[in-house]
Structure 1
Amino acid sequence: MNAFFDGYVHAKTNLKEFVDQFDNALKKKIENEISSDFHLFSVSIPCISRSLIEKRFQELYTNAKFRKIQQQIMGVLDMDPSLLRHDGVTKTYLVEDEIRVEEFTKHVTYYVDFNVEECDAKCSCGLFQMRGILCRHILAIFKCNGIKSLPDRYILDRWRKDIKRRYTLIHNSYDPGSQREDTNRYSSLFNICYQMITLAAGSKDHTKDATKK
């Protein structure tokens, strides 16, 4: 919030000034978003491998997040996972890694549980849970098991470049005509969905039915 209001809204502000300054901040945010969208679709960062998984991230993710994914992909070269146990459909791997802090290097062992049938992996490093980015340890396990296609669960909407950000659909006086039409449609659909959610949440059966539909 501080970053959003910085340069627009100040501590000693009355209500009218706040509304005007908020509108200016939102206007600037929308302009930056439009500029960013143009850059995302006009400039593509090349892949560093022949991995179809990397190619998938390149197609869907913003350049900033794709760079972070590439850092993890580069780290796969140093990974040499060893199978600890195989229990039914679940394989547990040990993955040796190094953590560098300034001039110090610490050796760390991570555990990766991999469900073969569901192609679901969880790493003790917790990178995906904390930051939404697949770690090199899981990517190394995918490579060991010949996984070429990335499961949808690892593609997060918040990093995708083809999804319009919700704050661009908030009403503000700066909206051009075409943007205002999008905003009105969004508001109408949102109100319908909100009513549906309110009713569906009343019981498990209704929630299950609404989710299916």
Structure 2
Amino acid sequence: MHNLDRALKEYRNNELIADFKSQCSEPVMITSLEVYERSASCYFTRNIFKKICNEIQRVGALNIKVLSITLDKVEFSVTALEDPAKDRRVKLDRSKNLFSCSCKLFESRGICCSHVFCATKFENILEFPDSLIYKRWTKNAKNEFISTEIPVNDDVERVLKFRVGALASNCNKLCDIACKDLADFDEVQSELVKLVIRLQSRKQGKSTPNVDVEGINDPFVVKSKGAPSKRSSWRKKRACSNCHKYGHYYKRCPDLMQHSVQGNPCDRSETNASAKDSGFSPERFANSSRSF
């Protein structure tokens, strides 16, 4: 079941990509019959358009001649340039603009064959005939069928997907119609804005967020959570190494200054001098050796 679900998701994703390419991109014209190519690109999807282009390319290797004309009905004989024995019969009803070919490609696959394109070229028909457009292969094939039956007793996710698909189908058809005229575009745009405002007013008491139609304001500034700043007003004070009190250090200690005034401790210069006198000297060593 998981593999089946994965395969369905991949299939639907490929279908969405193909629909996007068909709706939002224009193919490159590669044949000399650009009139038929451009008409086919407007109606058919990208995959069907490639197959139709292959049929249009084969028109250059075909020969055509008129067999019979009866009122508005004409019958043609289309043969290949390399194989004249292979004969195809194409019938045309000029009053109804209907084509039929003996190869039966349109009846079997829904694609117009090269023999019919050769007949339309011979008749100097510049527009793609509506009788040769198979609705199944057109870009708007999904818009033709819009189901209004909502599934009952089913999961919420499937119901939501069904609603989104139905609304998207209607919106695509509406956009395709309204974008071709400026007046229709303005009317649809204003109606959509009014509809959005009316639906938002109904949801005011619910938990759904209310989106401002006029614009989105700046968000509120919130103090970020993180490490505190390294700059701090508290600073460790230095203590005296003699009395272990704060506010002064060893050289400015009041206890030492008081003892120095009384004369108890000796000065550092005097202690250094006495240390020098008690130290080793060569003269003192020489005098001691002579006396010995």
Task: Count residues with an aligned counterpart.
Answer: 162
Aligned mates of 2:107, 2:73 — CA distance in 1: 20
Shift of 1:165: 8.0
2:9 match:
27
Aligned mates of 1:76, 1:67 — CA distance in 2: 15
Is 1:163 aligned to 2:141, yes or no? yes
Q: Out of 40, 50, 53, which is 2:22 matched to?
A: 40
Partner AA of 2:28 in structure 1: P
Partner AA of 1:154 in structure 2: L
2:205 match:
none
Is 1:52 aligned to 2:35, yes or no? yes
Is 1:72 aligned to 2:50, yes or no? no
| SS of equivalent residue, structure 2 residue 128 | coil
Q: Out of 148, 153, 167, which is 2:126 matched to?
A: 148
1:11 match:
none
Any gaps of 5 or more consecutive residues in structure 2? Answer: 169-292
1:132 match:
110
Task: Give the TM-score, by structure 1 length.
Answer: 0.63
Aligned mates of 2:102, 2:123 — CA distance in 1: 19
Aligned mates of 1:39, 1:107 — CA distance in 2: 41
Q: What fraction of aligned residue pairs are identical, expressed as a percent?
A: 24
**Per-residue Cα deviation, 1:75-134 (whole angstroms, up to 9, x for no partner):** 1112221111111211111111268xxxxx784011111112111111111111111111
Shift of 1:52: 2.4
CA pair 59-183 structure 1, distance change in 2 beyond 3 A = closer
Bigger shift: 109-118 or 165-174? 165-174
Any gaps of 5 or more consecutive residues in structure 1? Answer: 1-16, 100-104, 187-213
Shift of 1:139: 0.7
Cα RMSD (Å):
3.4
Structure 1 or 2: larger strand share? Answer: 1
Partner AA of 2:138 in structure 1: R
Is 1:113 aligned to 2:103, yes or no? no
**Per-residue Cα deviation, 1:116-165 (whole angstroms, up to 9, x for no partner):** 21111111111111111111111111111111122222111221123338
Is 1:180 aligned to 2:162, yes or no? yes
Partner AA of 2:9 in structure 1: K
CA pair 49-142 structure 1, distance change in 2 beyond 3 A = same
Bigger shift: 25-34 or 151-160? 25-34
CA pair 147-166 structure 1, distance change in 2 beyond 3 A = closer
Shift of 1:24: 4.6
